[in-house]
Structure 1
Amino acid sequence: MSLIKVIGNKAMAALAVIFTLFSSTAVFAQEAAAIAKPVDMEPVYRSTIFYVLLFLLACLFIAIVGKALKVYELTRETQGKSEGINWDLINAVLFVIFLIVGLYGVYFEYTVHGKMILPEAASEHGKKIDQMFEITLILTTIVFIATHIVMFVFTYIYRYNKARKAYYYPHNNMIERIWTIVPALVLTVLVLMGFLTWRSIFHKVEDPNNKPLSVEVTSSQFQWDIRYPGKDGIVGKKNYKLVTSTNNLGIDFNDRDSQDDLVADEIVLPVNKAVRFTLTSKDVIHSFYMPQFRVQLNTVPGMPTQFEFTPTITTDEMKAKTGDPNFHYVLLCSKICGTNHFNMQKVVRIVSEKEYEEWLTNQKPYLTDDLRKAFNLPVTAPAKPADSTATASVKPSAENQLALKK
């Protein structure tokens, strides 16, 4: 069979595929038109199979075109004709097109998705992290754009040309020094900046006159348990061996610091006041994550960890800034810790000092009467009835006194 017949067969095959697709589409369109109620194709477009078949169809089309072009090249070669398609020029042009599309993609990501990277920082150290992130992103973006422009333009300018011979240029000490020393200096600055920022977050000098508020958070599948200190300002000890149905966190109430601790359903913090979270876990590794405060630290079973930060924007202020009346800070778990990981959340409210004190007075103590009995502590005396004074002022009669003696 000659190459011309092969070309004809390939073309006929392609035409047959296209004709089959169009005829099938026409038949489906006629059937849909015959039905009074229009067919809802939305579920089809959303299905995975639809896009898989669409991808395979595109691959088939590209393969047919590629085979046809290959046959065209072989035909010209057997006929002794010059090369019909300058693939070197096509590849070079494609590189330039890819460069332009890629640079537009960078612009699109910065202008559209760039606003979605991080919300506004609502803590003191969060501003430092954002500054470090922005400097790193700017430097890497400049290097990314410059290197890609050089590479793709170089590929276009120095594409293959039979009339041109490549210049042999194996080595240049100056260029070697530049692209070794400059990146080393830039990376050293970035690493030092990150190290100093990390130390400023995790190695704080404690001021005895302004001690941070202590809050304990215990993670478990799939919830957060919050414990606040009482009037002593100290969160008491706990021991996993003391965990029972009534003592869910295993609090050691033989420690006096534990006896006035409070339990809360949400995290409420005063603005511009340092807070130190002590993090523990009852079962698996979770991750204590509050994105607006740039706080993320693992909670590890058997190993308490701590994170200290200062919130700077109240919840009401952030609602006004975002224009979202339903906005609220949230505590999340950023570890895939199980099936209900997505639902492991806790509301965080940043309020004024006065609001915080009012909220704290309404929180319930962790130590209940059942726990007092379990730890042999005195049970809380029951409240006296309202008319106890009037009852006590009335003296019992002689018969009642005799009955009481009996």
Structure 2
Amino acid sequence: MTTTGLFLLAILALGFLITFQIAKASEYVSVLKGEKKSFEQNNRINGFLMVVFLVLGIIGVYWCNKALYPKTLMPYPSASEHGENIDTMLKITLLITGIVFFITQILLFWFAYKYQYSDKRKAFYYPHNNKLEVLWTTVPAIALCTLVGFGLYYWFKITGEAPQDAMQVEITGRQFGWIYRYPGKDNTFGKKYFRMIDEANGNMLGMLWKDSTMQTPNGIQNLKADPTGFDDVITTTAMVLVKDQPVKLIINSRDVIHDVGLPHFRLKMDAVPGTPTTLWFTPKYTTEEMKKITNNPNFEYEIACDQMCGNGHYSMKGLIKVVKRDEFILWRAKQEPSYKPATDVAPASPASPAPNPGAVDTTAHDATGALVPQATIASKK
């Protein structure tokens, strides 16, 4: 919201507060003057308005749900197996909290109308009830602990050990975009060091592609090149995954705290500088299949940064392509390693062999000193 919008909202709130205070002051003045009839009339009006607000509020909730629910992700299935469990937990949570919300709000506004001030009724002083306090303390506590328990169970499944056949992909956040890395044929990620980051020369992650010596706060440090990183593939275009194959994401950040948000897979995980985090899931639908499910020919799986990370946070969007296995194999075969070895200097011409002392010198020269071919010499003979 812009500064102007916030300013106008503050003015409206202040105007409402002033009007409310003037109305209350007028009511108190009427009471002090003995205008009891005016007070009772205002009280009935307020009670009636409570009922009106209750009805309009319920209608508003229904209308908002009908208008905005299709624009959420809930009408469409989760694109991962773990996400299905998250959806189930979310629906249970909404069901429980929704029932409690409607019961408490309906009673709140109905009681405000039913038990408004009346000369014919005397307020009953009811200070304490152990059974009620135990009931409204233990029941919510048990319900919340159950929901938290399910949440922890699913969380440990997502962040636990991935299956042995899981594909490994590293994703690194930076202001303001994502970098994806795939291991090469050795299925091993090469080592990297943040001080080696050099975008000008194509080293976005600080890969140890060559022996280096650098000055650090702890002194001179010698870094050895890591050959296991020579065949790694680094890209910023999109993350390509395989349908029905588990994938383990190794999450890093190159600068500030980011967050890998995967809304269609119902997952998210912080990207913390210097502290790799992981999660794993199994994609259920290819991108083409989700286009049909959502009836959106332009559908793309998105990676959103769910952590405010700077001025360009809004533009930090990544893409995921979920394809079939044969399509992934074809795509992977077209990818070249990001490591580009330095071009070697052309070797010098080989030196002439040393003369054999025992050999007869058959080289001939003419009168000008030029070399005479052996065939010419033989013809002369």
Same fold per superposition (TM over 0.5)? yes
1:36-57 deviation digits (Å, cap 9, x = unpaired): xxxxxxxxxxx86996799599
1:235 partner letter: F
Q: Which one of 85, 90, 95 corresponds to residue 138 of structure 1? A: 95
> TM-score, structure 2 length as denominator?
0.75
Say if 1:123 and 1:137 are closer, same or farther in 2 by CA, change over 3 A.
same
Q: Which amino acid aligns with 2:54?
A: L
Q: Measure, in 2, the Cα distance between the counterparts of 1:134 and 1:53.
A: 36
Amino acid at match of 2:176: F
What is the Cα deviation at residue 287 of structure 1? 1.3
Q: Which residue matches 1:225?
A: 179
SS of corresponding position for 2:38: coil
Structure 2 residue identity aligned to 1:259: F
Query: Quick one: distance in 2 between partners of 1:49 and 1:218?
Result: 35
Secondary structure in 2 matching 1:369: coil
Aligned to 1:15: none
Task: Please tell me the residue identity of whatever aligns with 1:150.
Answer: L
Letter in 2 for 1:106: V
Give 1:181's aligned residue.
138
Q: State how far apart, in whole Å, the 1-side matches of 2:194 and 2:6 are.
A: 50
Q: Equivalent residue for 2:283?
A: 311
The equivalent of 2:239 in structure 1 is 267
Unaligned runs of 5+ in 1: 1-46, 374-378, 382-398
- SS of the residue aligned with 1:201? helix
Q: How far is 1:202 from its partner?
A: 1.2
Residue identity in the other structure for 1:248: M
Matched, 1:103 2:58: yes
Report if the CA contact (8 A) 2:160-2:279 is conserved. no
After superposition, the CA RMSD in angstroms is 3.3
Counterpart Cα distance in 2 of 1:199 and 1:60: 48
Note closer, same or farther for the CA distance 1:285–1:316 as it changes in structure 2 (3 Å cut). same
1:342 — aligned with what?
314
Letter of the structure 2 residue corresponding to residue 232 of structure 1? D
Residues 175-224 of structure 1 show CA distances to partners (whole Å, capped at 9, x for unaligned) of 223212222221221121111111111123634xxx21111122211221
**Bigger strand share:** 2
**Residue 229 of structure 2: aligned partner:** 258
Hey, what's the Cα distance between the residues in 2 that align with 1:95 and 1:129?
37
Q: Equivalents in 2 of 1:108, 1:316: separation in Å?
A: 33
Letter in 2 for 1:109: C
C-alpha distance 249-93 of structure 1, shift in aligned 2 (>3 A): same
- Does the CA contact (< 8 Å) of 2:162 and 2:248 recur in 1? no
Per-residue deviation at 1:118?
2.8
Distance 1:205 1:315, change over 3 A: closer
Q: Confirm or deny that 1:123 pairs with 2:123.
A: no
Give 1:359's aligned residue. Answer: 331
Q: Which amino acid aligns with 1:234?
A: T
Q: Does structure 2 retain, via aligned residues, the 8 Å contact 1:215–1:235?
A: no
Q: Kindly indicate whether the alpha-carbon contact (under 8 Å) linking 1:229 and 1:262 is maintained by their aligned counterparts in 2.
A: yes
Q: Report what 1:36 is aligned to.
A: none
For residue 66 of structure 1, report the CA deviation from its aligned partner. 4.9
Which of 296, 302, 323 is matched with 1:330 structurally? 302
Q: Which amino acid aligns with 2:113?
A: Y
43, 46, 52: which one pairs with 1:88? 43
- Matched with 1:31 is none
Greater mean alpha carbon deviation, residues 352-361 or residues 333-342: 333-342
Distance 2:9 2:254 in 1: 44
Among 337, 340, 352, the alignment partner of 1:368 is 340
Identity of aligned residues (%): 37
Which residue does the alignment assign to 2:170? Answer: 216
The total of aligned residue pairs comes to 324
Corresponding residue SS for 2:148: helix
Q: What's 1:241 paired with?
A: 195
Seen in structure 2, the aligned counterparts of structure 1 residues 268 and 166 have a Cα distance that, compared at 3 Å, is same
The amino acid that maps onto 2:122 is: K
Q: 1:214 to 1:54 in 2, by over 3 A?
A: closer
Equivalent residues of 1:220, 1:281 under 8 A apart: yes
Q: Per-residue deviation at 1:108?
A: 2.5
1:333 maps to a residue whose letter is C
Q: For structure 1, which segment, 269-278 or 176-185, has the greater mean C-alpha deviation from structure 2 after superposition?
A: 176-185
Q: Aligned letter for 2:177?
A: Q
What is the aligned partner in structure 2 of residue 157 from structure 1?
114
| Cα deviation, residue 143, structure 1 | 0.4
Distance 1:284 1:50 in 2: 31
Q: Per residue, is there more helix in 1 or in 2?
A: 1
Work out whether residues 240 and 249 of structure 1, in 8 Å CA contact, stay in contact via their aligned partners in 2.
Answer: yes
The Cα shift of 1:248 comes to 2.6
SS of structure 2 residue aligned to 1:83: helix
- SS of the residue corresponding to residue 365 of structure 1 reads coil
Residues 346-388 of structure 1, C-alpha deviations (whole Å, 9 max, x = no match)? 2211000000000111112111023xx7xxxxx699xxxxxxx
TM-superposed deviation, 1:64 = 12
Quick one: which amino acid aligns to residue 88 of structure 2?
A: Q
Report what 1:293 is aligned to.
Answer: 265
- How many angstroms apart in 1 are the aligned matches of 2:152 and 2:6? 49
**Structure 1 residue 271: Cα displacement:** 0.5
Q: By how many angstroms is 1:81 displaced?
A: 6.7
